[in-house]
Structure formats: structure tokens, C-alpha cells
């Protein structure tokens, strides 16, 4: 399979690394060439693809719209956005797609950022903003405010989208990010201008989360400002990997596992990767974590043990009220989330605070270990579990209360209904990017 990336300046691109990893993992004989093309050479490059020089291509700045006139067919979302980032050759025809659209959605999903009913503030009215606003509008956002340096000038480009949510274009003088998810779709802060930020730290007070589409540097000045304000901060690396895997699905004509996306993301993420185990008390997180870590030669961080070693016995800590314990647990969880290439076993209630889970997702694959309740009831030591007072009913009640949270805040579910070695093998497959 011969693939290309078409663009103007490509020396900082991560795409070659990502696509070559895909070829390697899936045992595909393929090449991915970086093709820097001048405007005057665009037509002949597109003809070269048609004539068989490549089986498909990605398209980046500044050609995402310019290629439209050489495309024979166009997918629904690419048509809506008016931009193509992936081209497939099918029966001699060039078909254009926009995988940034779903890649953006996958990035929000991976980081547990809800779209339904949420208000968004988007900075920068370029091509990336148009794609992501279409995605937000198609997926239940409540309201989107788009900030531009010149709202009048960019209005026409956004008029042709049909909106299922509130939408307005606003000047920066009216900036209001409180209770909104902020998305930076400007290049401000990108390498080498790493000291720049499109907004000041103080503007982020009360913001729900910050998503910076930039992935180089991996932590932009804007993301550092978000952390200063205790706001979740996400970079654009997951989107980059996800849009690449979506393009591979088109070229290979098959669905690829989300485990593959996560594996590549975790591998190229400079912060490394953690395996995070969540689930009910008694589901086996600690013992599985210990054995998994030993099998993969990784360190093991058990959050409950960390709390006991640093603050004392858990049942005793609960005497001060559950909220006081949860505050300590959050402190310990954020400490654990900062580890790299570590297996992390969490306490059963870690999912009760979203900030725990967004911190753990930043550089970790979160695995829900689901265990039949009968097994939990048989094995559990009720003396050390403050929320379980000794009978099956209390286990069932807690499970009912928590199961939706375990589902919501995990990337993968593994059922622990057999031997520990079976569970560990399944987790190892997830970790290597394989299908379960």
C-alpha cells in the first residue's frame, strides 16, 4: 500500500511515524511518503495519484479545500465542512473524506468530555474550527461561541453550515469562558512560539475544560494556564492519531480496533502510558495490578496502599466522613496519574470524582474489571471495606450506584469471571493494541 501526505511544509509532521506504526503492527507492506507540493504543482500531483503513484493520501495545510476540485466523489462530512484531509482511490476515482471530524469526537470521548448539553467556546475561525463545530452541532452541543479577530470577515465561511445548536461569532473583546469547554483552534502556542497563549490564565477561571488542538509542544502555555486554574487540559495528539486510524480504515476497507488507536497514542505520547484498573471493591484490581505489573516488568502503584501508608487505615479515615476521604483519594490519584509506564490499581470509589478520571485518562488506558457479584461477595473482606456492611444486598446496591460510572469512565471492559491469568492476558492484549 503506497500512501502520501500532501502539504506545503511537513518537516514537523508526526503522521509518517503513526502510519508506519500501523503498517508494522498490522503486518502490512506499505510506505507513507511526505510530499511537499507547491500550489503550482497541485494539479499534477493529484493526477499522479489517479495514475497510480499512490493508493491514497492525507491532505494538510494549505490544501484541504484546494483539493476539492480534483476529487470525483466526496463524503457527507467533508462536503458539509468543505475540506478533505484523506483521499482514497476507489475504482479509478478519487474519493475525499474528512477524518478530522470523527477524530475530534474520539479525542473528547477518550478524555470523558461530554458534548450533549454542553456550552463550547472555540478560538480561531479557520478550517479546523469549521470541522469541529460541525461535529459539536451534530452531536448535541447546547451552544457554540466562535471567537475571531474579525467576526465580520469570517461570517460567510460559517453561514453554510446548518446548526442544531446555538451558534454565534464573537470578537475577543467579549470573551467569556465560564462554564464552557474551551477549544483552541488557532495556531497560537504551537512550536516554536511555545511561550504564547491565545488567552490569559485569569480568563480560564470557571472554565469546564481546555482542549488545545496543538500537540507540539505536548503541554502548551494555554494548557499550563488551565492547570494553574485546576481545569482539565487536553492536547490534540489523540485527535491526530484517531484521524490517522480512521483514514487507515478507509484505505484498508476494514474497521480497526480502538485499542490500536490508544496503543499508538500512548506510545508516541511523551508522557508514556499507564494501565489503570477500576472497578468494584473486591473485583481483583490490586492482585491483578500486582501480577500484571510483574508480567509486563512495570512498576505497580496501588492507590489504596499509598493512602494507607501516607494517611492511615482507610476504615479509620472514613470516620472523618466520606468527603474528607475522597479529597485524600483525589490527591493520591493525581499523584499516581503523574507516573509513567505504570500499572495503577485504584480504589472502588475513584469514579465518584470526574477530576480523578480525567487526570488518569491523560496518559493511561483505563480498564474496568467487571466481576460477577457472587464472586465479590464470597471473597470480600468486609472489615476493611467501609461501604460494604457484610451482605450481598450492600454489594448489589453499591454496584447499581457505580456501574454506570465504571462504564462511563473506562476505555475498555474486561470481565473477571475465570482465572486471574485469563484476565491478565486480556489486559495485555488491550495494552498491545490488539482486539479482545
The residues annotated as belonging to the active site are 64
Residue 310: how many CB atoms within 10 A of its CB?
11
Enumerate residues 193-212 that contact ligand NAP by CB under 6 A: 198
* Binding-site member from 21, 190, 233, 317 for ligand NAP (CB under 6 A): 190
Angle between helix axes 237-252 and 99-110 (nearest 10 degrees) is 130
Q: Under the criterion CB under 6 A, does residue 61 sit at the interface with ligand NAP?
A: yes
Q: How far is the CB of 430 from ligand NAP (least distance, A)?
A: 24
Using CB under 6 A, which of the segments 68-76, 113-121, 237-245, 407-415 binds ligand NAP?
237-245
Kindly state the smallest distance separating residue 76's Cβ from ligand NAP, in Å.
Answer: 19
Cis before 217 (ω within 30): yes
Report in angstroms how near the CB of residue 216 gets to ligand NAP at its nearest: 8
Alpha helices (runs of H) in 37-163, residue ranges in sequence order: 42-50, 76-81, 99-110, 127-138, 151-159
Indicate the residue whose CB is closest to ligand NAP. Answer: 126
Cα separation of 403 and 398, whole Å? 8
Q: Which stretch binds ligand NAP (CB under 6 A): 15-23, 239-247, 275-283, 339-347?
A: 239-247
406 is a site residue for ligand NAP (CB under 6 A): no
Distance (Å, whole) CA 421 – CA 415: 12
Among positions 101-130, residues that touch ligand NAP (CB under 6 A) are 103, 124-129
Contacts of 278 (CB under 8 A, 6+ apart): 285, 346, 350, 351, 366, 367, 368, 369, 406, 409, 410
Distance CA(431)–CA(240), nearest Å, equals: 20
Q: Does 149 bind ligand NAP (CB under 6 A)?
A: yes
- Quote the radius of gyration of the chain (alpha carbons, Å): 23
Residue 71, phi then psi, degrees to nearest 5: -95, 140
Q: Considering only the stretches 180-188, 256-264, 306-314, 352-360, report the one whose residues sit in contact with ligand NAP under the rule CB under 6 A.
A: 180-188
Of 186 and 333, the one with the shorter C-beta distance to ligand NAP is 186
- Closest distance between ligand NAP and the C-beta of residue 124, in Å? 3
The answer to whether 99 contacts ligand NAP (rule: CB under 6 A) is no
Number of residues that bind ligand NAP (CB under 6 A): 26
Told to check if 82 binds ligand NAP by CB under 6 A, we report: no
Q: Is 100 in the site for ligand NAP (CB under 6 A)?
A: yes
Between 105 and 236, whose beta carbon lies closer to ligand NAP? 236
Q: Please provide the size of the chain in residues.
A: 436
> CB 131 → ligand NAP: shortest distance, Å?
8
Nearer to ligand NAP, 239 or 336 (CB): 239
* Closest separation in Å from C-beta 154 to ligand NAP: 5
Minimum separation from the CB atom of position 236 to ligand NAP (A) = 3
Q: Does 213 bind ligand NAP (CB under 6 A)?
A: yes
Q: Does 380 interact with ligand NAP (rule: CB under 6 A)?
A: no
CA triple 282-288-293, angle to 5 deg: 150
Spell out the SS3 assignment of 200-266.
CHHHHCCCCEEEECCCCCCCCHHHHHHHHCCCEEECCHHHHHHHHHHHHHHHHCCCCCHHHHHHHHH
DSSP state of 355: H
Judged by CB under 6 A, which stretch of 6-14, 146-154, 221-229, 282-290 contacts ligand NAP? 146-154
Q: Find the Cα–Cα–Cα–Cα dihedral 259, 265, 266, 272, rounded to 10°.
A: 180
Binding-site member from 99, 243, 274, 356 for ligand NAP (CB under 6 A): 243
Contact 75, 95 (CB under 8 A): yes
Q: Which among 181-189, 219-227, 334-342, 410-418 is the span making contact with ligand NAP, rule CB under 6 A?
A: 181-189
Strands 412-415 and 119-123: unpaired
The nearer residue to ligand NAP, 130 or 385, going by C-beta atoms, is 130
Please answer whether residues 120 and 183 qualify as being in contact, where contact means their C-beta atoms are separated by less than 8 angstroms.
yes
Q: Check: CB of residue 22 under 8 Å from CB of residue 264.
A: yes
What is the binding site for ligand NAP (CB under 6 A)? 61, 100, 103, 124-129, 148-150, 154, 185-188, 190, 198, 213-215, 236, 239-240, 243
Amino acid at each position: 500500500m503506497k500512501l502520501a501526505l500532501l502539504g506545503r511544509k511537513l518537516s514537523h509532521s508526526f503522521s509518517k511515524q503513526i502510519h508506519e506504526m500501523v503498517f508494522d503492527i498490522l503486518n502490512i507492506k506499505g510506505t507513507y511518503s511526505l510530499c511537499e507540493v507547491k500550489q503550482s504543482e497541485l494539479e499534477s500531483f493529484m493526477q499522479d495519484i489517479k495514475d497510480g503513484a499512490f493508493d491514497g493520501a492525507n491532505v494538510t495545510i494549505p490544501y484541504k479545500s484546494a483539493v476539492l476540485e480534483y476529487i470525483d466523489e466526496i463524503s457527507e462530512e467533508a462536503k458539509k465542512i468543505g475540506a478533505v484531509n484523506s483521499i482514497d482511490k476507489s475504482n479509478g476515482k478519487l474519493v475525499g473524506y474528512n477524518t478530522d471530524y470523527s477524530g475530534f469526537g474520539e479525542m473528547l470521548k477518550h478524555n470523558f468530555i461530554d458534548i450533549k448539553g454542553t456550552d463550547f467556546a472555540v478560538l480561531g475561525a479557520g478550517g479546523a474550527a469549521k470541522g469541529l463545530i460541525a461535529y459539536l452541532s451534530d452531536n448535541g452541543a447546547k451552544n457554540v461561541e466562535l471567537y475571531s479577530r474579525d467576526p465580520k470577515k469570517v461570517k460567510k465561511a460559517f453561514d453554510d453550515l446548518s446548526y442544531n445548536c446555538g451558534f454565534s461569532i464573537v470578537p475577543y473583546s467579549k470573551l467569556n469562558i465560564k462554564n464552557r469547554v474551551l477549544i483552541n483552534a488557532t495556531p497560537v502556542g504551537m512550536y516554536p512560539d511555545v511561550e504564547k497563549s491565545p488567552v490569559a490564565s485569569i480568563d480560564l477561571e470557571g472554565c469546564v475544560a481546555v482542549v488545545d488542538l496543538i500537540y507540539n509542544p505536548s503541554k502548551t502555555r494555554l494548557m499550563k494556564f488551565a492547570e494553574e486554574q485546576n481545569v482539565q487540559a487536553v492536547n490534540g495528539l489523540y485527535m491526530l492519531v484517531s484521524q490517522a486510524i480512521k483514514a487507515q480504515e478507509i484505505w484498508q476497507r476494514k474497521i480497526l480496533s480502538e485499542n490500536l488507536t490508544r496503543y499508538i497514542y500512548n506510545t508516541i505520547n511523551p508522557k508514556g502510558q499507564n494501565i489503570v484498573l477500576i472497578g468494584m471493591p473486591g473485583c481483583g484490581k490490586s492482585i491483578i495490578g500486582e501480577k500484571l505489573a510483574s508480567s509486563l516488568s512495570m512498576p505497580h502503584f496501588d492507590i489504596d496502599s499509598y493512602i494507607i501508608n501516607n494517611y492511615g487505615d482507610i476504615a479509620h479515615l472514613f470516620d472523618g466522613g466520606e468527603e474528607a476521604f475522597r479529597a485524600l483519594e483525589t490527591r493520591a490519584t493525581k499523584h499516581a496519574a503523574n507516573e509513567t509506564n505504570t500499572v495503577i490499581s485504584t480504589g472502588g470509589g475513584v469514579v465518584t470524582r470526574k477530576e480523578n478520571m480525567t487526570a488518569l485518562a491523560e496518559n493511561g488506558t483505563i480498564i474496568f474489571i467487571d466481576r460477577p457479584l457472587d464472586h465479590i461477595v464470597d471473597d470480600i473482606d468486609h472489615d476493611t471495606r467501609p461501604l460494604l456492611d457484610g451482605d450481598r444486598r450492600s454489594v448489589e446496591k453499591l454496584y447499581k450506584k457505580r456501574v454506570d460510572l465504571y462504564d462511563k469512565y473506562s476505555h475498555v471492559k474486561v470481565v473477571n469471571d475465570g482465572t486471574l491469568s485469563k484476565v491478565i492476558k486480556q489486559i495485555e492484549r488491550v495494552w498491545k493494541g490488539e482486539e479482545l
